[in-house]
Amino acid sequence: MIYGITAGDGDLADMAICQLRSLHKYTSATRDEIVVNCPLDEWVELSDCKQREIESLSTLYHEPPTIPDYPLSAAHATGLVAVDQAGPNEWVALLDTDTVVLKELDRFTETDAELAVKPADFHYQRVGLDEETLRQAYESTNTTYPEETMRSTVDKEPIIPYWNGGAVFSRTDSFF
């Protein structure tokens, strides 16, 4: 399995470092099996100490967000480099930086499925997203904006299925 993490300046760097430490402590993942993508403009803002630690614990890339002016799309760029590093039909785990791994994640890949995700279960306005921003993100990727909604179990507000569940597992052959 190849792990993909998106880092950035500030708290994102600190969280990425904590996640890297947890992967090395609680899983059998090696440096070569962990991909960190940190856009170059944010990388240069990190202290030398943080840069050295990230470099020592992962394979580092500096790919920009795939959608200009939409920083969350840096995670998509992370997925692309992780898939590129993985072999055919291998599993890729894309992990949010606020996700800490405390044991092997192999049980999520013990399936014939090609994808394992959970929709984020919160009203997206809580994280600074609005419907117009989401519509623009869908349009920029030539994807149809979903008309159906689901109710968040957190605040019962209607939300579109926003796939940001902390961990997404995909086989490389199915990623695109």
Which residue in the block uniquely carries the two structure tokens 């792990």? 3
Which residue in the block uniquely carries the two structure tokens 């708290």? 11
Backbone angles phi, psi at 130, to 5 degrees: -130, 170
Q: How do the domains of the chain map onto residue ranges?
A: 2-119+161-174, 124-160
Q: How confident is the model over 103-139, as pLDDT tens digits? A: 888 877 777 777 666 555 555 555 566 778 778 877 8
pTM exceeding the 0.75 threshold for the entire prediction: no
Fold (CATH) for 2-119+161-174: Spore Coat Polysaccharide Biosynthesis Protein SpsA; Chain A (3.90.550)
> What residues have CB less than 8 Å from 67, skipping those under 6 apart?
73, 76, 137, 140, 141
Q: How confident is the model over 6-65, as pLDDT tens digits? A: 999 888 899 999 999 999 999 999 999 999 999 999 999 999 999 999 999 999 999 888
Q: How confident is the model over 54-95, as pLDDT tens digits? A: 999 999 999 888 887 777 777 778 888 888 888 877 888 888
Residue among 5, 31, 23, 7 nearest 102 (CA): 23
Query: Computed from CA positions of residues 5, 10, 14, 17, in that sequence, does the dihedral angle turn out positive or negative?
Result: positive
